[in-house]
C-alpha cells in the first residue's frame, strides 16, 4: 500500500515530513506561507494520520524508501523525527533530493559522551513507559515539552493539541517505534559525506532539540548553514511561519541558482 500524500500549491516541489505523533496537517501555517511559490508534497509518515494502516514499519530506511516512491524529485524538509527520515533519504538518494532542510532536528537526539547537546535518554525512557499506561497523556506531555520555551507557548500548545488527533488516532505500536527511533537513531556518520546542501533551522528556545546540537551538526556537513529563529520553540513553523518560510525560500533559491 503506497503512502497518502497531500499536494498543495504552485511552483517547484518541496516535500514536508512531520514529527512524532503528528501528521502532515501540522504544517498548515507553513503551507499557507509557501503555497503561492511552492508545490508542497505533505506526507503523513507511516503509522500516522492517513497512513495509519499502511503497513510500513516506522524505521528510517523503510520510511525513506516509502516516501521516495510517492514524491517527485525535490528538496525535503523534515521536522523533528521527520528530519531523521529526510536525512536518511538525502544521504542515500542524493540524485532524487537536491537539497535538505532540517527543522528542529538533529542526526542524534539523545546525549552521548561525544554529543553533549542531546536529550537525556531517561526522558525517552519515561515516554516509552508512559505509552504503555496512557498513550494520550504521554503525547500531551511530549507536546508540552515541544511548546515549552516558546514566546507563544500557549498558542503553540493549543495548536499542537488541536492537531494531534485531527487525522485520526495514531497507532500505539507506531508511537513506540517512533520513540525507539528518536532514542537510538544516530546518523552523524552520514554528514561528512552528505552530497547535497543543507539548511538547519533551530528555535532559540527549543527545549527538545538544543539549537547548539543543530549548529554542531551543520559543522559536520559540507555546504551546510544554521539559522536560528529567535523566540521560537520546537515548532517554529506554527508561530513564526513567515520566518521559517523565508529561510527556506532563500536557501532553495540559492540552491537552484
Which three cell numbers, joined as nine digits, stand for 151? 514566546
Among residues 80, 150, 171, 198, which one is catalytic? 80
Among residues 48, 150, 152, 206, which one is catalytic? 206
- 206 assigned to active site: yes
C-beta separation of 91 from 222 below 8 A: no
d(CA 219, CA 185): 19
- 234 assigned to active site: yes
DSSP character string of 56-124: --S-HHHHHHHHHTTS-S--EEEETHHHHHHHHHHHH-TTT-S-EEEES--S--B-BTTBTTSBPHHHH
d(CA 232, CA 243): 10
Helix (H) / strand (E) containing 43: strand 39-43
DSSP code at position 182: H
Among residues 18, 48, 234, 240, which one is catalytic? 234
C-beta separation of 151 from 240 below 8 A: no
Cα distances (Å, whole numbers) of residue 25 to 30, 37, 43, 236: 10, 19, 9, 15
Terminal alpha carbon distance of the chain: 37
Torsion of CA 186, 187, 189, 190, to 10 degrees: 170
Distance, C-alpha 228 to centroid of its chain: 16
- 171 assigned to active site: no
Known catalytic residues are: 80, 206, 234
Amino acid at each position: 500500500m503506497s503512502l497518502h500524500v497531500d499536494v498543495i500549491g504552485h511552483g517547484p516541489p518541496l516535500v514536508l515530513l512531520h514529527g512524532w505523533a503528528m501528521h502532515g496537517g501540522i504544517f498548515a501555517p507553513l503551507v499557507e506561507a509557501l503555497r503561492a511559490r511552492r508545490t508542497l508534497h505533505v506526507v503523513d509518515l507511516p503509522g500516522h494520520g492517513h497512513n495509519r494502516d499502511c503497513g510500513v514499519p516506522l524505521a528510517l530506511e523503510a520510511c525513506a524508501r516509502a516516501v521516495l516512491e510517492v514524491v517527485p524529485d525535490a528538496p525535503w524538509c523534515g521536522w523533528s523525527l521527520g528530519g531523521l527520515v529526510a536525512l536518511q533519504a538525502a544521504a542515500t538518494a542524493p540524485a532524487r533530493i537536491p537539497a535538505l532542510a532540517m527543522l528542529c532536528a538533529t542526526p542524534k537526539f539523545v546525549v552521548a559522551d561525544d554529543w553533549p547537546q542531546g536529550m537525556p535518554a531517561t526522558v525517552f525512557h519515561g515516554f516509552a513507559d508512559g505509552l504503555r499506561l496512557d498513550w494520550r497523556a504521554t503525547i500531551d506531555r511530549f507536546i508540552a515539552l515541544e511548546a515549552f520555551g516558546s514566546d507563544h507557548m500557549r498558542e503553540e500548545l493549543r495548536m499542537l493539541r488541536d492537531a494531534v488527533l485531527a487525522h485520526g488516532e495514531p497507532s500505539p505500536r507506531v508511537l513506540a517505534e517512533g520513540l525507539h527511533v528518536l532514542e537510538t537513531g544516530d546518523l552523524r556518520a552520514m554528514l561528512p559525506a552528505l552530497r547535497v546542501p543543507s539548511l538547519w533551522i533551530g528555535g532559540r528556545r527549543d527545549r527538545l532539540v538544543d539549537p547548539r546540537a543543530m549548529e554542531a551538526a551543520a559543522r559536520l556537513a559540507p555546504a551546510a548553514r544554521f539559522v536560528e529563529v529567535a523566540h521560537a520553540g520546537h515548532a517554529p513553523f506554527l508561530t513564526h511561519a513567515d520566518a521559517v518560510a523565508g529561510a527556506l525560500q532563500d536557501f532553495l533559491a540559492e540552491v537552484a541558482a
